[in-house]
Amino acid sequence: MIDIIRPTLVLDKDVCINNIEKMAQKASKYNLRFRPHFKTHQSAKIGEWFKLFGVDAITVSSVQMAEYFASHGWDDITIAFPVNILEIENINRLAAAIKLNIIVENKEGLLALTQKISSPLGIYIKIDTGSNRSGILPGKINIIEALIKLTGTNKHLLFKGFLAHSGHTYQTKSPYEVFSLHFDALMKMKSLKQRYKHIFPHLEISIGDTPSISICDNFNGVDEIRPGNFVFYDLMQYKIGACTIEDIAIRLVSPVVAIQSSRNEVVIYGGAIHLSKEPLLNINGKDMYGRVIVTHNGKKILLGELNYVMRLSQEHGILKVMQKNLKYFTVGSLVEILPVHSCLTANLMRRYLTTEGEEIPTMNY
Amino acid sequence: MIDIIRPTLVLDKDVCINNIEKMAQKASKYNLRFRPHFKTHQSAKIGEWFKLFGVDAITVSSVQMAEYFASHGWDDITIAFPVNILEIENINRLAAAIKLNIIVENKEGLLALTQKISSPLGIYIKIDTGSNRSGILPGKINIIEALIKLTGTNKHLLFKGFLAHSGHTYQTKSPYEVFSLHFDALMKMKSLKQRYKHIFPHLEISIGDTPSISICDNFNGVDEIRPGNFVFYDLMQYKIGACTIEDIAIRLVSPVVAIQSSRNEVVIYGGAIHLSKEPLLNINGKDMYGRVIVTHNGKKILLGELNYVMRLSQEHGILKVMQKNLKYFTVGSLVEILPVHSCLTANLMRRYLTTEGEEIPTMNY
């Protein structure tokens, strides 16, 4: 870790590639199209690593992100975000250039597409399997059929199937809860597939969340998976049971700038603008923003859960550590923080330094 | 608001300039040096607006930010962050180029400065007035005197005084609490000044937090103020009583992409990577991430506190609104969100669009 002098997002490329490989193998085993979500890493370079495992289709969360990856050679992209009518010209331009899919969940968004789109565009209807974010409840057949019908009014729009993101799995605390939510989502999606398959024989079911796809082994009726977070994983995924600590591929390396021994606290240069303010409930019932790895006699030691980032201001992070572990901290040394939510940390940091010393920018750098 | 098609941080320049002017007047009224903290806006262009009110000295929160503003002509900068020993070469280079001050709160950091600094550098000792982040408790006279003594071992280092940031005022819920914390901090700082003034007649007291400085009128013994957030203010400051709603100078303008009438929810394009995950406790006891302004018949309407951003994922924001207000939302229109913590929102958005149509980058754009 030579040359790190300020908060730096270090990426273990081997761990990352291993995460990609395992997910690609899982997709292959269950005969699923692997369309990884690139919103977590947001990097053309990391995107290249997916190609080693045959990935040629991706998911993104914004039109801008689609434009970025299209400019880096990706020509089959699903924008897994409800149509933003105000960006319809950008969507139309992109549809003319690559194989593009988008999701709809209301008449207004789809109507705008039927009026403006002049190149082939795949349409997925977003189903709300329980996350209550966006999407149509699976029982709202009238609305679903009105959207399917409306799609048919523009010959460039192709109804491709139903798409879900069971984001409520992120709130779970055990694999058993994930099993249950995933099974429930599968039932809902399969019933829709069965209802419409005779009219649309190529109709697809696409599902997305990293917890379900990491933990579960039943993908009956599913055609495509779109996990994103698995590329790095994080403490939230670890808590759910979707990964091991060793699977977490990124960490914020931060300088120690102060030690408050009387309070068993350590102050690091690394705050809310580096890690993000997304908290996770620690075993002591308090909010935490990361776990701590120290280097001692050349060896890395992951400290226990009662040693954690307990508070963040703009540039400062405050670690609460057990008194016996204060010995591992010296002002001017570096510590490593495992992030709670890698998507938000990566978005803030905007570039990676691999353990091999390579600097990798994201689309925002 | 022509041309806004995706989440955009709109800045009302008049409101912002008014905030700067009021604070400059307050500093002048109480005969205080006004050294505003630029970590909130992080923009050279907005920095220029301060010069209209005679500001020629600033505060920043990192060495990088000091380098950025120095490269834009600022030549009197305090880095209000404990010495990061790993950046000591950068600090030394900057000290050779401009009038630079830094804060110390431990022997290790100061020792590194005494060994490496070869140009004049002002030293403030950081006092912990109660925020329990970094700094020395005011009663720890032995430590304070050891630091003062150590400063004297390098002729380039000049002990300038004591600096505090009463960050615990951000956790208050009323001006009365702020009065009390500010008074307590003043007592602590003044007693230090009295103790050492006979040895260091030019010794200064510098204080920082926006709530105290906005609300209070007693600055007895204080030489310098370093507020930052006041340039934009936000809902956190409004809740404390440090500003009015009309003083909030920025808002995230976001497209509406879905309306879930059955749940009284509206989905906007504008999420954790735009607003930040910093929550504020709403009047209904729930976390909130922003308040909502709609445009109706050409008029702006700030909806009540029960209409708020209740949930954020990476790109999505979920508004909970009262049923009677659903009529103000249509898919494809724009709404405005008042941010909870403007420093974090500005850091994420990385540029501003003024209400007059000017694009203003931050140091990260």
B260 reaches A (C-beta below 8 A): yes
In B170-289 the beta strands, taken as DSSP E runs, fall at 204-207, 224-225, 250-260, 265-269, 280-281, 287-288
pLDDT exceeds cutoff 50 at B211: yes
Domain ranges of chain B: 13-234, 245-361
Please provide the average confidence, as pLDDT, over all residues in chain B.
97
Min Cα–Cα distance to chain B from A267, Å:
7
For residues B237 and B211, is the Cβ–Cβ distance under 8 A? yes
- Alpha carbon B16 to chain centroid distance? 13
Predicted local confidence at residue B3, as pLDDT: 85
B279-337: pLDDT as tens digits:
999 999 999 999 999 999 999 999 999 999 999 999 999 999 999 999 999 999 999 99
pLDDT in tens, B6-18: 999 999 999 999 9
Q: How far is CA B209 from CA B129, B290, B311, in A?
A: 11, 22, 28
Q: Across the interface, do B134 and A84 touch by the CB < 8 Å criterion?
A: no
pLDDT of B2 over the 90 cut: no
Cα–Cα dist A150/A110, whole Å: 7
CA A183 to CA A166: how far, in whole Å? 11
| Residue B180, CA distances (Å) to A31, A50, B134, B166, B218 in order | 65, 57, 21, 11, 11
CATH of span A75-227: 3.20.20.10
CA distance B349 to chain A (A): 10
| Tens-digit pLDDT profile for residues B116-149 | 999 999 999 999 999 999 999 999 999 999 999 9
- The answer to whether A344 contacts chain B (CB < 8 Å) is yes
| C-alpha–C-alpha distance, residues A338 and A345, integer Å | 10
Closest approach of A47 to chain B, Cα-based (Å)? 19
d(CA A26, CA B234): 46
The DSSP secondary structure of B271-310, one letter per residue, reads: -HHHH-S--EE-TTSSEE-EEEEEEETTEEEE--TTSEEE
Q: Which residues of chain A have pLDDT under 50?
A: 1
Q: How confident is the model at residue B173 (pLDDT cuts 50, 70, 90)?
A: confident
For the domain B13-234, what is the CATH code?
A: 3.20.20.10
Say how far apart CA B210 and CA B182 lie, in whole Å: 11
Query: Which amino acid is present at B29?
Result: K
On whether any CB of chain A is under 8 Å from the CB of B33, the answer is: no
Same fold flag, B13-234 and B245-361: no
> Under DSSP, is residue A294 helix (H, G, I), strand (E, B) or coil?
strand
What whole-number distance in Å separates Cα of residue B232 and Cα of residue B123? 29
Q: Which of B92, B274, B277 to mutate: most A Cβ within 10 Å?
A: B277
A269 close contact with B: CB closer than 8 A: yes
The pair of structure tokens assigned to A273 is 């603008």
Q: Which of B137, B344, B345 to mutate to test the interface with A (most CBs of A within 10 A)?
A: B344
- CA B149, CA A363: separation in Å to the nearest integer? 49
**Residues in chain B closer than 8 A to A86 (CB atoms):** 4-6, 255, 332, 334
Distance CA B23, CA B34 (A): 8
Q: Does B82 contact A257 at a Cβ distance shorter than 8 Å?
A: yes
Q: What is the pLDDT of residue A1?
A: 47
Does A335 reach chain B within 8 Å, measured CB to CB?
A: no
Nearest to A167 by CA among A69, A236, A250: A236
**Distance to chain A for B363, nearest Cα, Å:** 12
Residue B1 has pLDDT above 60, yes or no: no
CB contacts, 8 Å: B111 with chain A:
none
B313–A272: do the CB atoms touch at under 8 Å?
A: no
Whether B278 has its CB under 8 Å from any CB of chain A: the answer is yes
> What tokens were used for B43?
């923009």
Place of tokens 């050779």: B96
Helix (H, G, I), strand (E, B) or coil at B27: helix
- Sequence length of chain B is 365
Q: Which amino acid is at A81?
A: F
**Chain B contact present for A96, CB below 8 A:** no
- C-beta neighbour count of A264 within 10 angstroms: 17
In angstroms, the CA B292 to CA B49 distance is 28
pLDDT above 70 as % of chain A: 99
Supply the pLDDT for residue A173. Answer: 86
Global ipTM: 0.97
From B312, which residue of chain A is nearest by alpha-carbon distance?
Answer: A133
The 10 Å Cβ neighbour count of residue A173 is 11
Beta carbons of B344 and A269 less than 8 Å apart: no
Distance CA A320, CA A311 (A): 9
Distances (CA, A) of A346 to A274, B93, B312, B314, B332: 8, 30, 17, 11, 29
Which amino acid is present at B179?
F
A138, A114 in Cβ contact below 8 A?
no
pLDDT at A2: 57
Q: Is B61 on the interface with A (CB under 8 A)?
A: yes
d(CA B39, CA B239) in angstroms, rounded, equals 21
Q: Which residues of A touch B278 (CB under 8 A)?
A: 272, 277
In whole angstroms, give the CA distance from residue B354 to residue B14: 10
Closest Cβ opposite residue A331 in set B108, B267, B272 = B108
Separation between Cα atoms, residue A263 and residue A249, nearest integer Å: 31
Put simply, the answer to whether B108 touches A348 (Cβ < 8 Å) is no
Helices (H) and strands (E) in chain B, counts: 11, 20
Q: What is the pLDDT of residues A64-86, one digit of tens each?
A: 999 999 999 999 999 999 999 99
Q: Amino acid letter at A35?
A: R
What is the spatial distance between Cα B231 and Cα B23, in angstroms, rounded to a whole number? 9
CB B60 within 8 A of CB B39: yes
Chain A residues close to B134, C-beta within 8 Å: 257-258, 260, 267, 316
Residues of A in contact with B331 (CB under 8 A): 85, 106, 108-109
Q: Quote helix, strand, coil % in chain B, to nearest 5.
A: 35, 25, 35
Cα four-point dihedral sign B80, B211, B55, B188: negative
B348/A255 Cβ within 8 A: no
Cβ–Cβ below 8 Å for A133 and B277: no
pLDDT of amino acid B162: 98
Q: Cα separations (Å) of B252 from A73, A187, B140?
A: 32, 39, 45
Q: How far is CA B232 from CA A224, A277, B178, in A?
A: 45, 20, 19
The minimal CB distance from B257 to the residues A39, A64, A82 is found for A82
Q: Which segments of A197-254 does DSSP mark as H helices, in order?
A: 210-215, 235-240
pLDDT (0 to 100) of residue A288: 98
CATH of region A245-361, choose from 3.40.50.620, 2.60.40.180, 2.40.37.20, 1.10.287.3510:
2.40.37.20
Measured between CA atoms, how close is B105 to chain A, in angstroms? 7
Distance in Å from the first CA to the final CA of chain B:
22
Taking the CA of residue A45 and the nearest CA in chain B, the distance in Å comes to: 21
Closest Cα to residue B252, out of B239, B241, B240, B268? B268
Give the global pTM: 0.97
Write out chain A residues lying below 8 Å of B269, CB-based. 62, 81, 84
111-150 in B: which are within 8 Å (CB) of A? 112, 132-134
Residues of A in contact with B266 (CB under 8 A): none
What token pair was written down for B250? 């920025």
Q: How far is A228 from chain B (nearest CA, A)?
A: 12
**Helices and strands of chain A, counted as H and E runs:** 11, 20
Angle CA B69–B73–B77, to nearest 5 = 50
Residue in B closest to A108 by C-alpha: B331
Inter-chain contacts counted by CB atoms under 8 A, chains A and B = 156
The token pair at A114 is 């039927």
Three-class secondary structure of residue B176 per DSSP: helix
Dist. CA A353–CA B3, nearest whole Å: 36
Contact B353, B13 (CB under 8 A): no
Nearest to B84 among A61, A82, A255 (CB): A255
User: Helix (H, G, I), strand (E, B), or coil: what is residue A166?
Assistant: coil
